């Protein structure tokens, strides 16, 4: 493919005319997405579409259909095999609303950032419309929105338990996690003549059945109706799900919903290095389809490289373990270099690789020496890194060295967040020195999230003194290098276990360290996360301990305001917090005050 002369035929078709350009008389699979169609490996529908195309299937794309117009769903007619539906790279509600439930002004995954191009709960809306138009067509749902809602789950937007999205969407099968292998198995099963009602026993999928069919070894969760009534049973269900997220040793889970049963098969095995290399070696154009215009979400990742998938960090608020898995899935150095060679031939490339990383930049090549996916009685990194974890930064350093020495590349950045406790645990490594010397442009991203240890415990994050030691190390390294560089630290408000006095203490830390962080976030309880379960039930489901939960809009707003107490628009909320919690001493003209007056 000549990257300087991209045409519509270089993309998956979005119309019958484009399919005809490819010589395709019919479409086997139609993928419907709530995002703009961007042919880049950071976009889920592009990866699934390219993988299916590579497997020999003819794939068409319907991007952001108008959900009140049947004709938008009828572009290709009924596909030979199935409709695949995703809300997009984010849940549709998060694309539409802030955590404070205010409408967003921009949708980064839509053409030109236009808002209003996708419905609320897009997976359900799209699937319902397809079922209405094509009653007998097989419907497969997937992506992050579906993946995290495969069981009865707590829904933040309605503040209630909602049933499995399979029940609400009337889809035939749900693919969860990174779904390349399951979706290919579904396509092969339907191509072999199986009906949509015979898609069973595929790992990484969930189905609805009238009766709990024999599924080999399986466990029965408390029903949707029971977890809706009783938070203790919701905690039990979460714990059972948490324990079975093991692709090697996990068993199927069955949850009754009225007179239906949701059967969730064990996770799919993580892709091998060879398989991951094949996926990222597919002919992505790294462009938005010509009909899409400019898509804001593409710009920061356009010339980035995914080195690996997965994260064993187990942060309580993060959905990665439930979606990508905890096993680090690496690409080979050869594959990464080949992608870099493709990038440098792109006519828009200006010499800089914007990122080489994954969910956590420095987990590439790390593994459990015992070959385990998860241990039932321990975590990989807390209270300290496990002795069986092979913490070695040489693998990623080797990759970075090769890339930065390519003559066509001027700069290779590490923009993904770095797990600083791993850096400290690898005492002999030169990782921090080399990244500071060659791979950041003055800023390094880390995520301490808070300073209070009891809050960090609830978050499953390292203690604050670990972050402080890393800060000291970072400063020492940059002093040695003669560089003036800074940490971009991410902070989180409103997490279970965190109250307003904790946020006042964090504000005082910002004051004392003379920092004015811009990377701050209000906690969002993503379905299937430990933190969401704590937020809904007020208990840690893994320990049974009671956990304080800031749920009121007023308290969450105060916590969020305290993270940026110096901003004029936050003064009223900061004043309210200081008055309510007996810290009027922090208002006035003294050097230690957060605001000048109440």
φ/ψ of 253, rounded to 5, equals -125, 140
User: Per-residue pLDDT for 3 more than 90?
Assistant: no
210: three-class secondary structure by DSSP: coil
Percent of the chain, pLDDT > 90? 90
Quote the mean pLDDT of the chain: 94
Is the predicted pLDDT of residue 567 greater than 80, yes or no? Answer: yes
> Above 80 in pLDDT, residue 191?
yes
The predicted structure's pLDDT at residue 6:
63
Phi, psi of 508 (to 5 degrees): -65, -35
Residue 473 has pLDDT above 90, yes or no: yes
Q: pLDDT band at 320, cuts 50/70/90? A: confident
CA–CA gap between residue 159 and residue 162 (Å, rounded): 9
Interval 20-46: pLDDT, tens:
999 999 999 999 999 999 999 999 999
The answer, yes or no, to whether residue 4 has pLDDT greater than 80, is no
> pLDDT tier at 214 (50, 70, 90 boundaries)?
low
pLDDT tens by residue, 338-352: 999 999 999 999 999
pLDDT for position 319: 87
- Grade residue 371 by pLDDT with cuts at 50, 70 and 90: confident
* High-pLDDT (> 70) share of the chain, %: 98
Closest CA to 308 of 369, 247, 368, 357: 357
C-alpha pair distances (Å), 140 with each of 174, 177, 272: 6, 14, 24
Residue 319: name the closest of 183, 177, 489 by CA. 177
Burial of residue 544 (CB within 10 Å: 0-12, 13-18, 19+) is: exposed
Domains and CATH numbers, the chain: 3-205 (3.40.50.280), 299-441 (3.30.750.210)
Q: Does the structure show a pLDDT above 60 at 1? A: no
Token pair listed for 384 = 């300290």
How far apart are alpha carbons 274 and 112 in whole angstroms? Answer: 36
Q: What pLDDT, on a 0 to 100 scale, did the predictor assign at position 536?
A: 97
Average pLDDT over residues 363-388: 88
* Spatial distance between the Cα atoms of 209 and 197, rounded to a whole number of angstroms: 9
Quote the pLDDT of residue 374: 75
Please state the rounded mean pLDDT for residues 351-359: 95
Please give the angle made by the CA atoms of 460, 462 and 467, to the nearest 5 degrees.
145
Q: What is the pLDDT of residue 124?
A: 98
The model's pLDDT over 538-551, given as tens digits with 9 standing for 90+, comes to 999 999 999 999 99
Q: In which band, very low, low, confident or very high, does the pLDDT at 2 lie, cut at 50, 70 and 90? A: very low
pLDDT in the model for residue 30:
98
Q: How confident is the model at residue 322 (pLDDT cuts 50, 70, 90)?
A: confident
In terms of phi and psi (left: phi > 0; alpha: psi -120 to 50; beta: otherwise), the region of 362 is: alpha
pLDDT tens-digit series, residues 124-146: 999 999 999 999 999 999 999 99
Q: Is 80 exceeded by the pLDDT of residue 530?
A: yes
Write the pLDDT tens digit of every residue in 171-189: 999 999 999 999 999 999 9
The stretch 231-240 carries a mean pLDDT of 97
Distance in angstroms (rounded) separating the CA atoms of residues 135 and 139: 10
């Amino acid at each position: 493919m000549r990257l300087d002369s991209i045409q519509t035929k270089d993309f998956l078709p979005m119309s019958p005319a484009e399919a005809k350009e490819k010589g395709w008389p019919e479409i086997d699979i139609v993928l419907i997405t709530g995002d703009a169609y961007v042919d880049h490996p950071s976009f889920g529908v592009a990866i699934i579409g390219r993988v299916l195309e590579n497997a020999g299937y003819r794939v068409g794309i319907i991007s952001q259909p108008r959900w009140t117009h049947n004709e938008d769903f009828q572009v290709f007619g009924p596909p030979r095999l199935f409709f695949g539906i995703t809300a997009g790279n984010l849940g549709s509600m998060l694309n539409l609303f802030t955590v404070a439930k205010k409408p967003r002004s921009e949708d980064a995954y839509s053409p030109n950032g236009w808002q209003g191009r996708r419905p609320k709960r897009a997976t359900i809306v799209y699937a319902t419309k397809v079922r209405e138009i094509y009653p007998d067509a097989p419907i497969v749902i997937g992506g992050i929105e579906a993946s995290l809602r495969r069981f009865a789950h707590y829904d933040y937007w309605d503040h209630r338990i909602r049933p499995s999205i399979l029940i609400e969407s009337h889809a035939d099968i749900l693919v969860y996690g990174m779904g390349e292998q399951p979706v290919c198995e579904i396509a092969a099963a339907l191509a072999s003549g199986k009906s949509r009602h015979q898609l069973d026993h595929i790992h990484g999928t969930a189905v609805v059945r009238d009766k709990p069919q024999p599924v080999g070894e399986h466990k029965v969760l408390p029903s949707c109706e029971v977890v809706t009534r009783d938070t203790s049973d919701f905690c039990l269900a979460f714990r059972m799900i948490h324990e079975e997220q093991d692709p090697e040793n996990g068993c199927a889970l069955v949850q009754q919903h009225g007179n239906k049963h949701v059967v969730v098969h064990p996770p799919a095995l993580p892709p091998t290095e060879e398989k991951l290399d094949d996926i990222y070696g597919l002919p992505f154009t790294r462009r938005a389809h010509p009909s899409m215009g400019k898509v804001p979400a593409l710009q920061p990742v356009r010339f980035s490289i995914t080195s690996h998938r997965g994260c064993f960090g187990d942060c309580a608020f993060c959905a990665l373990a439930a979606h990508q898995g905890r096993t680090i899935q690496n690409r080979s150095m050869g594959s990464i270099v080949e992608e870099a060679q493709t990038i440098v031939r792109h006519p828009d490339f200006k010499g800089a690789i914007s990122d080489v990383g994954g969910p956590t930049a420095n987990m590439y090549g790390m593994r459990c020496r015992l070959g385990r996916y998860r241990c039932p009685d321990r975590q990989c990194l807390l209270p300290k890194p496990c002795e069986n974890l092979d913490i070695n930064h040489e693998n990623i350093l080797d990759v970075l060295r090769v890339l930065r020495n390519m003559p066509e590349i001027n700069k290779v950045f590490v923009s993904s967040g770095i797990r600083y406790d791993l850096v400290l645990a690898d005492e002999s490594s030169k990782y921090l020195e080399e990244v500071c010397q060659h791979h950041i442009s003055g800023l390094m991203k880390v995520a301490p999230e808070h300073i209070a240890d009891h809050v960090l415990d609830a978050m499953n994050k390292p203690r604050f003194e670990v972050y402080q030691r890393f800060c000291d190390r970072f400063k020492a390294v940059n002093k040695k290098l003669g560089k003036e560089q800074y940490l971009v630290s991410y902070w989180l408000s409103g997490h279970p276990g965190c109250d307003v006095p904790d946020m006042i203490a964090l504000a005082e830390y910002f004051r004392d360290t003379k920092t004015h962080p811009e990377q701050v976030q209000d906690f969002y309880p993503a379905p299937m996360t430990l933190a969401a379960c704590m937020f809904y039930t007020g208990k840690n489901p893994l320990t049974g301990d009671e956990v304080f939960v800031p749920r009121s809009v007023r308290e969450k707003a105060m916590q969020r305001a305290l993270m940026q107490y110096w901003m004029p628009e936050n003064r009223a909320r900061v004043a309210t917090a200081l008055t309510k919690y007996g810290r009027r001493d922090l208002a006035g003209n003294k050097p230690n005050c957060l605001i000048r007056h109440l």
